[in-house]
């Protein structure tokens, strides 16, 4: 049964997201996952680092699903952007400011100490960019402009999460959401108008 393995990864992902890598103990993970201790090193011979990297990638994959989930039903790109930030703010409030970005904490923590973990985080960010990009290209934005907007979106979201979690307020998320909606709108207005020429 690989059910245990999945529970371990899921529990790790949740603990990493809330308290980071160093503060999360292997024993704590097996307790949360209701898994036997020995299973950790059976499934993850690379130890905590391998398990952590896999949990990060899994978290990244799950979070990436939010993109279609929010963008598909939205009437247009601008309101999708707005909805994304609003949804993040609501979820943050609901979880008492515990669940923000699933990987940002770890990303900041380990990027000077563990290359495998840092790479896992970098891969997740890249995959988010790749996942968001087509939606902005599809509405007529140049590829490089679209990339800038997507990167700015993710950066604004991550930064707002940092402020929101620390101050226990969603103000930063609301401000960043409105701002990025405006930025998106402006980028759409500017497309296909070779104006100054």
Residues of the shown chain interacting with a second copy in the complex, contacts defined by CB under 8 A: 18-23, 97-98, 100-101, 104-105, 107-109, 111-113, 118, 121-122, 125-126, 148, 151-152, 154-163, 165-168, 171-172, 175-176, 178-179, 183, 186
Supply φ then ψ for residue 191, to 5 degrees.
Answer: -75, 160
* Dihedral sign from CA coordinates of 34, 35, 37, 43: negative
Shortest Å distance, C-beta 1 to a second copy: 32
What residues between 8 and 47 interact with DNA by CB under 7 A?
A: 24-28, 35-43, 47
Cβ-based nearer residue to DNA, 105 or 184? 105
- Cα 20 to Cα 12, 47, 157, distances in angstroms: 10, 16, 18
Closest alpha carbon to 22 in 106, 119, 125, 80 = 106
Cβ-based nearer residue to DNA, 59 or 114? 114
Cβ-based nearer residue to a second copy, 5 or 165? 165
- Cα 122 to Cα 6, 107, 115, 160, distances in angstroms: 23, 8, 10, 19
Residues that bind DNA (CB under 7 A): 1-2, 4, 24-28, 35-43, 47-49
């Amino acid at each position: 049964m690989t059910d245990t393995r999945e529970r371990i990864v899921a529990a790790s992902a949740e603990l990493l997201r809330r308290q980071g890598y160093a503060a999360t103990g292997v024993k704590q993970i097996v307790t949360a996952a209701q898994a036997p201790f020995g299973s950790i090193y059976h499934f993850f011979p690379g130890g905590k680092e391998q398990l952590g990297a896999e949990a990060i990638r899994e978290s990244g994959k799950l979070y990436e699903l939010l993109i279609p989930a929010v963008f598909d039903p939205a009437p247009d790109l601008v309101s999708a952007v707005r909805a994304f930030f609003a949804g993040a703010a609501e979820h943050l409030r609901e979880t008492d400011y515990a669940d923000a970005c699933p990987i940002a904490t770890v990303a900041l923590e380990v990027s000077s100490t563990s290359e495998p973990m840092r790479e896992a985080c970098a891969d997740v960010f890249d995959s988010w960019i790749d996942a968001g990009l087509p939606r902005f290209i599809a509405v007529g934005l140049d590829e490089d402009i679209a990339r800038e907007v997507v990167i700015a979106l993710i950066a604004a979201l991550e930064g707002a999460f940092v402020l929101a979690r620390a101050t226990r307020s969603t103000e930063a998320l609301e401000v960043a959401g409105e701002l990025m909606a405006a930025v998106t709108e402006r980028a759409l207005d500017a497309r296909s108008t070779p104006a100054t020429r």
